[in-house]
Structure 1
């Protein structure tokens, strides 16, 4: 499926307090504007939907770095 690179404009309505929180998210994540943030949130949601639908194979890894000379690693001290 070929993606279209043409941007389309649409409107979104939301409560003022939700918009304030969204604007804070835009700033915290370092996005240039709301549109960029919405695009990335939609992409993330679409990827999450694919993963949940078991339609795609997903792989991951867990890396553990530790000093093998350190004793009592399981102690919380």
Structure 2
């Protein structure tokens, strides 16, 4: 299938929780989008750019891993703790904040080899019950 500009376009189908779709539609409306497809394309591009940026970091880094998770999800807190113990050489501090009756924010301060920080972040991302993870880093070498 070609779009108006002659580019090849693939039609896909997605299943999303109704609440997530409603929230996405509100964001699109607030940002002035006329098309859900355009919003999804932009969101996917942003996701890819952030992944590539995270993938390309090298050397020593310092930063934070922000994790939002549903503490009512069976085993998520134990799994999160186990991962933090596994990567204890790269974790300087953690802060736990109760957001709502079910959601918590864990802020993990990290320092060390970029690849290990990436591994930590990706392990957390794969946990069931984790709703959002964001890694923010800067060069962490001695000045």
Which category describes the TM-score, using the shorter chain as reference length? 0.5 to 0.7
Q: Does 1:15 pair with 2:22?
A: no
**Larger relative contact order (Cα-Cα within 8 Å, sequence gap ≥ 6):** 2
1:25 alignment partner, SS class: helix
C-alpha deviation, 1:5, in angstroms: 2.0
Q: Matches of 2:56 and 2:21 in 1, distance apart?
A: 33
Taking only aligned residues, the RMSD between alpha carbons, in angstroms, comes to 1.8
Query: Which residue of 1 is the match for residue 71 of structure 2?
Result: none
CA radius of gyration, larger in: 1
Where does structure 1 lack aligned partners over 5 or more consecutive residues? 56-77
C-alpha distance in 1, partners of 2:18/2:48? 26
Higher strand proportion (structure 1 or 2): 2
| TM-score where L is the length of structure 1 | 0.60
With normalisation by structure 2, the TM-score equals 0.34
Structure 2: gaps spanning 5 or more residues: 1-5, 58-143
Alignment of 1:1-77 (within 5 A): 5-54=7-56
